[in-house]
């Protein structure tokens, strides 16, 4: 257990928003009275944390989780404040990430009753294991939610909006306490054939510069900050009209980019050996057939798990551990593909929830494309790994409900960070005295009617 905390980095969560409707019989006289004050989200967070802490102490450092299918011994990873909900005056909902001794991460749904400091959990259910759901949620017209067995879900409950989607997207960064001057780089989402992006507003302590990444054709915002900017926010808002992406014709790949090694996405060596083995007797088939073999290999051999040194898009880490988040899945695929001559590239942005129309977003999401038969083919292997029913869809499709920030790896701009090219850019890159530090960042959205 002493090494247990090494697993605790950052974790995925699922949002549910419940609103309970009150009803009365037609013959009853309805009287009005002042509504009781709603409990603040921070109080719900404190309540669920206090409950978990107390139960952990009672059970010798382990938090027990039991439902109809599970009997687990867990530790708290994170409560996502943007996903906490009031159900009523003294009824609340929270979805919490917990990790067991093996490193498996569970999303657990909690229903609570009571006032601040007196909350008790009335129901606990395990929603996901390493990102894979045991059930889904569906919203009724009255805004309440109910559970749906996985076999009864449709694509919209599994994160997919087909055709078109329109939404506003809000990117918010809080400048951490600064004792020195700092530099920060933030991606600027732009229009392409599949997304029409309108920049609504940039609110920040000072005007940013726009930097060009000529190799990958990205635009990056750059600020130089001072200690007096501590605690201030950088807010960027967009209106986005997005189309579902399928295989598309575009300029031919640039071998110096799309077939080259990157710092954390090398090619050749063991990646070539694995790719050849995975392709097997399809070695003389088309790149399209070979890419599908590599896609299936990663689905079959990797686990979506957020612990260890995940989240850097390190192909070697993915190859060794066979675990990671979306960045490891797609980096590994790109290393394999390029090693056998299939051009491939990386992109990153955010996935917009399909089952609700506003609220928080649980971090960035990334994906890949490869070139075959004269077209670029989009793939999303980590989502296909979570939802195997959509494995065919995600080979050649990206849904409409996402926004792309940047393309490529090892982004080169001027001025650049002291460490050199930026690995990839979704969250801000904040540098103080030549060292990267984290800047609290949140993504939120509102879908257009």
CB 120 within 8 A of CB 127: no
Q: What is the CATH number of the domain that holds 297?
A: 3.10.620.30
Residues 6+ apart with CB under 8 A from 238: 168, 169, 170, 171, 189, 197, 198, 199, 200, 403
Bridge-based pairing state of the strands 435-437 and 195-203? unpaired
Q: What is the CATH number of the domain that holds 13?
A: 3.10.450
Inside any domain, residue 425: yes
One domain for residues 179 and 307: no
Beta bridge partners of 398: 245
Inside any domain, residue 249: no
Q: Each residue of 313-335: b (16+ CB within 10 Å) or e?
A: bbbbbbbebebbbbbbbbbbbbb
Q: Could you say which of 133, 153, 173 is where a domain stops?
A: 153
One domain for residues 182 and 63: no
Bridge-based pairing state of the strands 303-304 and 323-324? parallel
DSSP-assigned letter for residue 5: G
Inside any domain, residue 79: yes
Q: Could you say which of 129, 153, 177 is where a domain stops?
A: 153
Q: What is the CATH number of the domain that holds 237?
A: 2.60.40.2250
One domain for residues 419 and 403: no
One domain for residues 180 and 223: yes
For 377, the token pair is 């083919």
Inside any domain, residue 159: no
d(CA 68, CA 421): 49
Inside any domain, residue 28: no
Q: Which secondary structure element, helix H or strand E, spans residue 222, and what is its range?
A: strand 218-225
One domain for residues 186 and 224: yes
∠ Cα 175 177 179 (to 5°): 120
In tens digits, what is the pLDDT along the chain, a chain of 449 residues? 333 333 333 333 333 333 223 333 333 333 334 444 556 667 777 788 888 888 889 998 888 888 777 788 888 777 765 556 666 667 777 778 787 776 677 888 888 887 766 777 888 888 877 667 788 776 666 656 677 777 666 666 578 999 999 999 999 999 999 999 999 999 999 999 999 999 999 999 999 999 999 999 999 999 999 999 999 999 999 999 999 999 999 989 999 999 999 999 999 999 999 999 999 999 999 999 999 999 999 999 999 988 788 999 999 999 999 999 999 999 999 999 999 999 999 999 999 999 889 988 989 999 999 999 999 999 999 999 988 888 889 999 999 999 999 999 999 999 999 999 999 999 999 999 999 999 999 999 999 96
For 434, the token pair is 């030549």
pLDDT at residue 46, rounded to an integer? 79
Show contacts of 52-56: CB within 8 Å, 24+ apart. Answer: 52/76, 52/96
pLDDT at residue 158, rounded to an integer? 73
CB 353 within 8 A of CB 137: no
- Listed residue (295, 328, 382) closest to 9, CA to CA: 328
User: What is the number of domains present in the chain?
Assistant: 3
One domain for residues 115 and 217: no
Inside any domain, residue 250: no
One domain for residues 134 and 71: yes
Q: Which domain holds residue 57?
A: 4-21+33-153
- Listed residue (418, 416, 441, 419) closest to 428, CA to CA: 441
One domain for residues 16 and 108: yes
d(CA 403, CA 321): 29
pLDDT at residue 53, rounded to an integer? 86
Beta bridge partners of 113: 91, 120
d(CA 240, CA 244): 13
For 320, the token pair is 């060794």
115: left (phi over 0), alpha (psi -120 to 50) or beta: beta
pLDDT at residue 306, rounded to an integer? 84
One domain for residues 291 and 359: yes
pLDDT at residue 129, rounded to an integer? 77
One domain for residues 283 and 338: yes
Q: Could you say which of 94, 123, 153 is where a domain stops?
A: 153
∠ Cα 209 427 396 (to 5°): 110
Q: Which residue's structure tokens are 């051999």? A: 301
pLDDT at residue 3, rounded to an integer? 38
Where would I find the H helices in 16-118? 41-58
φ, ψ of residue 105 in degrees (nearest 5): -105, 125
Inside any domain, residue 158: no
pLDDT at residue 22, rounded to an integer? 31
∠ Cα 303 307 363 (to 5°): 90
One domain for residues 229 and 285: no
The neighbour count for residue 379, using CB atoms within 10 Å, is: 26
Inside any domain, residue 27: no
d(CA 244, CA 107): 28
One domain for residues 218 and 290: no
């Amino acid at each position: 257990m002493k090494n247990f905390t090494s697993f605790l980095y950052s974790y995925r969560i699922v949002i549910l928003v419940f609103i309970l409707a009150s009803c009365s019989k037609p013959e009853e006289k309805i009287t009005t009275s002042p509504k009781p004050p709603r409990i603040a989200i921070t109080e719900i967070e404190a309540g669920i944390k206090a409950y978990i802490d107390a139960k952990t102490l009672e059970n010798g450092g382990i938090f027990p989780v039991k439902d109809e299918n599970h009997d687990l011994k867990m530790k708290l990873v994170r409560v996502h404040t943007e996903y906490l909900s009031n159900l009523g005056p003294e009824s609340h909902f929270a979805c919490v990430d917990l990790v067991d001794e093996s490193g498996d991460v569970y999303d657990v749904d909690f229903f609570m009753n009571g006032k601040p400091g007196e909350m008790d959990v009335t129901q606990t259910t395990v929603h996901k294991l390493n990102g894979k759901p045991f059930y889904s949620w569906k919203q009724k017209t009255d805004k309440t939610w109910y559970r749906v067995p996985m076999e009864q879900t449709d694509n919209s409950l599994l994160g997919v909006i087909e055709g078109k989607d329109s939404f506003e997207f809000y990117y918010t960064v809080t400048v951490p306490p600064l004792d020195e001057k700092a530099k920060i780089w933030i991606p600027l989402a732009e229009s392409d054939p599949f997304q029409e992006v309108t920049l609504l507003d940039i609110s920040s302590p000072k005007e940013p510069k726009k930097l060009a990444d000529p190799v990958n054709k990205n635009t990056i915002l750059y600020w130089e900050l001072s200690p007096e900017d501590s605690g201030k926010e950088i807010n960027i808002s967009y209106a986005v009209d997005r189309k579902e992406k399928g295989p598309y014709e575009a300029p031919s790949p640039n071998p110096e980019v799309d077939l080259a090694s990157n710092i954390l996405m090398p090619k050749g060596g063991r990646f070539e050996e694995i790719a050849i083995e995975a392709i097997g007797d399809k070695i003389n088939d088309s790149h399209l057939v070979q890419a599908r073999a590599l896609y299936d290999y990663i689905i079959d051999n990797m686990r979506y798990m957020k612990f260890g040194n995940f989240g850097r898009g390190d192909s070697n880490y993915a190859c060794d551990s066979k675990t990671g988040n979306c960045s490891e899945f797609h980096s590994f695929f790109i290393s394999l593909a390029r090693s056998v001559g299939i051009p491939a590239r990386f992109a990153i942005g955010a996935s917009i929830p399909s089952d609700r129309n506003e609220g928080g977003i649980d971090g960035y999401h990334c994906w890949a494309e490869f070139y075959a038969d004269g077209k670029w083919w989009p793939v999303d292997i980590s989502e296909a790994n979570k939802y195997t029913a959509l494995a065919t869809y995600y080979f050649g499709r990206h849904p409409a409900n996402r926004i792309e920030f940047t393309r490529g790896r090892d982004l080169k701009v001027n001025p650049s960070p002291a460490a050199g090219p930026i690995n990839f850019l979704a969250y801000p890159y904040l540098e103080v005295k030549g060292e990267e530090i984290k800047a609290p960042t949140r993504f939120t959205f509102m879908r257009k009617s």
